[in-house]
Structure 1
């Protein structure tokens, strides 16, 4: 299990968690939270006379509501005066300048919503951005809505990064190996030259808590104990710190705050604060809808394994489409979780067209095998996410997703059926039959989809438009659009 690793180096983290411990109780005041489908942002149904859609009527859909927070300060009688002052400052007695700034932000978001909804009501033609840069309806649920939303994000979206916390657990993260997407995002928000970070907290739409769960496991976790309490305590202390020092958490009950982690134990760490777990935006690789991941507010983060911090050179320029791929399908990986044993039981060494291994033979190269195959099998391990999905995208090897309850990354805007195949776990015995039934035309269509979607899963340095950093931010932006702060 990946989450059991991370092991050593406990000494350095202890001082960080102690420095975050504070005596005050987090200022959590009573609020009336009314969930209303005011915008119906991801539904094609008319809501309040507005056609809100990234989807066409013939496509699958799920509703993501706006949350309207109506703050009524009612701190319990036993709370300290410090607690009361924090609550009062964040709501009832906010300075007029702060209220005006908030109103300006909300007015800008309202204009953004209106522009996106107007774009969404169109016929969803291909969008030519410049030259041959095309956003096609083949891979997007609604390319006009997505492009308008993306432009609105570039124009307006501001992120405040909290300065609280000490290295290495805060303001740092892994930039290579299995949890690269976690560290790369943290580093870009901390040090990148992007247009989204703001030093003016009053001008921010969202607030980023830049702690690394991966580094918590490395520095705070005692190996082989499976005791995640130190992780939860760190998160609890961090939220207490920012919620007593700043007004922003209490102002929205944490709904406009987000964390990001790719570690398997990210969801468990977020349980350190109930509001963070239930209300804040959690950007997680472990996007398991059966274990508390809520796609109406949480964001699915792609898992990318960068050995040595770079994409394997063999995957940078995969063979052109006219080069034959002789193997039907490929998988090599250890027996982790409940799905892989089923795959290995039915197909390991059973068919010369399906190359399924627990351990890849020493005379074979993993990436060469991907590049020889039409389909790459991507079963979940102990947790739902798999770096094989992104590796398959890079290799232009059609991902065959074998998973239960996995909310796929960027599925708000991407049509995963345009560049991957999802097979129910119960259908694994019929896997060859399913893959052979894919016609040549359909296979070529899926490959074209992979080629078009690849840029959304690339970690560029420096970042580029529509790359993974921007797609993660866009997912957060969408959830902030669905939050109306009263």
Structure 2
């Protein structure tokens, strides 16, 4: 009788173990070593929880990580997604992952992580019956897809999905992921709707930034003036929906005569530029709508307006494993909305200038480029978040007996 072990999986796990050790050593960095060398960018400063450890982890990801994209499934539901809409991070990631030549592998035996390339947005458009409120067909589609993969390949079954990830920017992403119990409980779910009160698990799941792209020329839509050229203290304009915005409107809508530096309104008058209003504002309010995520977070960062997240702590902020959000943003609890102006006015000019400078520095991590992705941009930061969670998974190497 021969005893057979999965040598390829053993090799993969050994490589991940070495990466873990390198990152743990960087986290400790007891010798206070100087920053690592990098031809493109060296992470430093307070925008990071631990800049040195992040840099080491990122370099280890580039050196080690291999992603397998399942080829099963047909567009538009699979291998496709929206690239110019409020859901654009879903489509852009799918497209860039399909096109990637550095970290994508065509050999699943070499993969550390497996991507399930379905688009919930496309499913809603093609499978969901409008106004039915029935997510069943979408859940069954996902369940059937995983059934095909688990029947054809050994990879899902050996980890019960723990080394697999899905990605969705649609509000329904968390709910339709329950179409398979292991996808919901074990797999890495990369979600814009990263609501901790609704089952989002920050230790396993990834918060996906919601970026509303209308054009490929993103580089032309960034930047803004200094604090001295921003007369508006706080700005927000959009529809009155969800649990947070009604509170914001109740206390601050229509109070510009009393407080002209607080501009809160339902939509803007014709001819008033939303982008220019953000550029004229020091703080940009980012309350969620029906769900916790808001595209204003990325828009504020693009336009160098310090973001103010208005919620009660249920939103797991993007890239929070490595980014120190307290250094470049504010978080306002809903109960403190009546004190909004008081809280923001208490930020000294010197402190604000530091925060705005940090917003400018962190912007590279939220950038989406018209051409191929660039190092440290949103695509690579999403992958890095997935990489960190894959490092937390150790897949047991089974030994089988053969006659």
User: Which interval holds the TM-score relative to the shorter structure?
Assistant: over 0.9
Give the SS at the match of 1:414: coil
1:114 to partner: Cα distance: 0.8
1:73-124 deviations in whole A, cap 9, x for unaligned?
Answer: xxxxxxxxxxxxxxxxxxxx9964xx11111111111111111111111266
Q: Distance in 1 between matches of 2:376 and 2:159?
A: 29
Q: Distance in 1 between matches of 2:352 and 2:68?
A: 44
Identify the residue that residue 348 of structure 2 maps to in structure 1. Answer: 439
Alignment of 1:371 onto 2:279: yes
Q: Which runs of 5+ in 2 are unaligned?
A: 397-403
In 2 relative to 1, CA 327–296 (structure 1 residues): closer, same or farther, beyond 3 Å? same
In 2 relative to 1, CA 132–115 (structure 1 residues): closer, same or farther, beyond 3 Å? closer
1:178-217 deviations in whole A, cap 9, x for unaligned?
Answer: 101000000011123x311001100100000000000000
Give the SS at the match of 1:135: coil
Alignment of 1:347 onto 2:257: no
Q: Distance in 2 between matches of 1:458 and 1:359?
A: 26
Give the SS at the match of 2:162: coil
Q: Which runs of 5+ in 1 are unaligned?
A: 1-92
Alignment of 1:195 onto 2:105: no
Match of 2:241 among 328, 336, 344: 336
In 2 relative to 1, CA 394–94 (structure 1 residues): closer, same or farther, beyond 3 Å? farther
* TM-score normalised to structure 1 length: 0.78
Q: Distance in 2 between matches of 1:244 and 1:374?
A: 54
Match of 2:188 among 259, 263, 281: 281
1:133 to partner: Cα distance: 3.8
Alignment of 1:324 onto 2:238: no
Are the aligned partners of 1:206 and 1:256 in contact in 2 as well (CA < 8 Å)?
Answer: yes
1:308 to partner: Cα distance: 3.8
1:129 to partner: Cα distance: 4.2
Give the SS at the match of 2:179: coil
Alignment of 1:220 onto 2:151: no
Give the SS at the match of 1:260: strand
Identify the residue that residue 78 of structure 2 maps to in structure 1. Answer: 170
Match of 2:178 among 271, 274, 294: 271
Give the SS at the match of 2:68: strand
1:249 to partner: Cα distance: 0.3
Identify the residue that residue 204 of structure 1 maps to in structure 2. Answer: 111
Are the aligned partners of 2:36 and 2:55 in contact in 1 as well (CA < 8 Å)?
Answer: no
Are the aligned partners of 1:177 and 1:309 in contact in 2 as well (CA < 8 Å)?
Answer: no
Alignment of 1:255 onto 2:162: yes
Q: Distance in 1 between matches of 2:50 and 2:216?
A: 34
The equivalences for 1:79-90 within 5 A come to none
1:128 to partner: Cα distance: 6.1
Identify the residue that residue 385 of structure 1 maps to in structure 2. Answer: 293
Are the aligned partners of 1:125 and 1:137 in contact in 2 as well (CA < 8 Å)?
Answer: no
1:154 to partner: Cα distance: 0.3
1:323 to partner: Cα distance: 5.0
Q: Distance in 1 between matches of 2:227 and 2:41?
A: 22
1:362 to partner: Cα distance: 1.3
Are the aligned partners of 1:180 and 1:309 in contact in 2 as well (CA < 8 Å)?
Answer: no
For this pair of structures, how many residues does the alignment match? Answer: 389
Are the aligned partners of 2:192 and 2:210 in contact in 1 as well (CA < 8 Å)?
Answer: yes
| CA RMSD after TM alignment | 1.7
1:29-74 deviations in whole A, cap 9, x for unaligned?
Answer: xxxxxxxxxxxxxxxxxxxxxxxxxxxxxxxxxxxxxxxxxxxxxx
